[in-house]
Homo-oligomer: A and B are copies of this chain.
Amino acid sequence: MSSMFMYVHENHGLSPTAGNAPQLAYTLSVLVLAVVLSASRRVALGEMRDEEGNEVDQAGFYDVIFGRRDVRGQFNGEPLNPAVLGRILTAAHAAPSVGMSQPWDFVLVEALPTRQAFHEHVQSERAIFEASLDDEARKRFSGIKIEGILDASLGIVVTYDPERGSPHVLGRHAIADAGLYSVCLAIENLWLAATAEEVGVGWVSFYREEFLAELIGLPAGLRPVAWLCVGPVTHFERVPDLERFQWQARRPLEPHLFVDRFGTPLNDSELIALPTKLMASD
């Protein structure tokens, strides 16, 4: 993996206070740290240390995890390398699935008329969402790009087939949604593999399932789970768009960890040590 990612994760996940207020300060501190780290890049190369200060050698893997972004505005429109696309989809197909049903299909949408029709539909759904917002939220929302359908090289629709492996899908009799969960695991594999290949992915969810099913000719019973915009990018942003545009800051992790029962906080549990410093660079 070459040198595209720099991730700074300073005390994030340790602060006991969630909240949207200090977004700008957080963003600025991330940028300042990024500049500092850029200068000492050779030193920081691949560095990631745990609580005890031991170097962790999985830095490349965590680079992918923390470098991944939901890309909307950075697609450069260049063609996607066919071998890269092949590997990304092979990675998706290697995801875990309930009863090993692998209940997904992938429709690679290159045709411009299809993408234009979807783009228009998404715009109309954007307007519906916008109308539900109060003035302050609407103002913040207005600057946020929500999709790169026409800018990306390709659309990939990932679908769910509940009949795959039926009637006896091992592990699904008690939880009907388990098949749908499997499709999401495949999507995350695809997303991370793309990131490792320095290819951007953006998940569009401003659409009605019936519209998309009709648009790409899904057989009855199959359900679209995602439209992914996929393609080469100019760069990956360091801070997620919704945080950059002050819609929603990332939350700290610790308030969402419990021991044995929901609501019992970690306190000084010896079970887990959250990283005080989590930094990985190519």
- Roughly how many angstroms separate A260 CA and B205 CA in the complex, as a whole number? 19
With a CB–CB cut-off of 8 A, which chain B residues contact A66? 91, 94
Q: Shortest CB–CB separation between residue A66 and chain B, in angstroms?
A: 5
Given A94-B65, A96-B203, also A170-B248 (CB < 8 A): yes
Given A50-B87, A91-B65, also A98-B174 (CB < 8 A): no
B50 touches A129 (CB 8 A): no
A108 at interface by CB-CB < 8 Å: yes
A260 touches B82 (CB 8 A): no
B196 touches A58 (CB 8 A): yes
- Those of A120-158 within 8 Å (CB) of chain B: 125, 128-129, 132-133, 137, 141, 144, 146, 154
A61 touches B62 (CB 8 A): no
Given A100-B242, A253-B90, A273-B86, also A111-B260 (CB < 8 A): yes
Given A260-B107, A262-B105, also A242-B170 (CB < 8 A): yes
A236 at interface by CB-CB < 8 Å: no
- Roughly how many angstroms separate A175 CA and B270 CA in the complex, as a whole number? 40
B interface footprint on A60-71 (CB within 8 Å = 1, 0 otherwise): 111011101010
A170 touches B247 (CB 8 A): yes
- Roughly how many angstroms separate A141 CA and B170 CA in the complex, as a whole number? 9
- Roughly how many angstroms separate A243 CA and B101 CA in the complex, as a whole number? 11
A62 touches B193 (CB 8 A): yes
- Those of A27-64 within 8 Å (CB) of chain B: 50-52, 54, 56-58, 60-62, 64
- Those of A78-96 within 8 Å (CB) of chain B: 80, 82-87, 89-91, 93-96
With a CB–CB cut-off of 8 A, which chain B residues contact A209? 175
Q: Which of B62, B84, B159, B168 contacts A262 (CB 8 A)?
A: B159
Q: Which of A171, A177, A275 has the most CB of B within 10 A?
A: A171
- Roughly how many angstroms separate A19 CA and B123 CA in the complex, as a whole number? 42
A274 touches B205 (CB 8 A): no
Q: Shortest CB–CB separation between residue A173 and chain B, in angstroms?
A: 5
B50 touches A253 (CB 8 A): no
A86 touches B181 (CB 8 A): no
Q: Which of B1, B93, B94, B273 contacts A256 (CB 8 A)?
A: B93
Q: Shortest CB–CB separation between residue A252 and chain B, in angstroms?
A: 9
A174 touches B206 (CB 8 A): yes
- Roughly how many angstroms separate A154 CA and B272 CA in the complex, as a whole number? 11
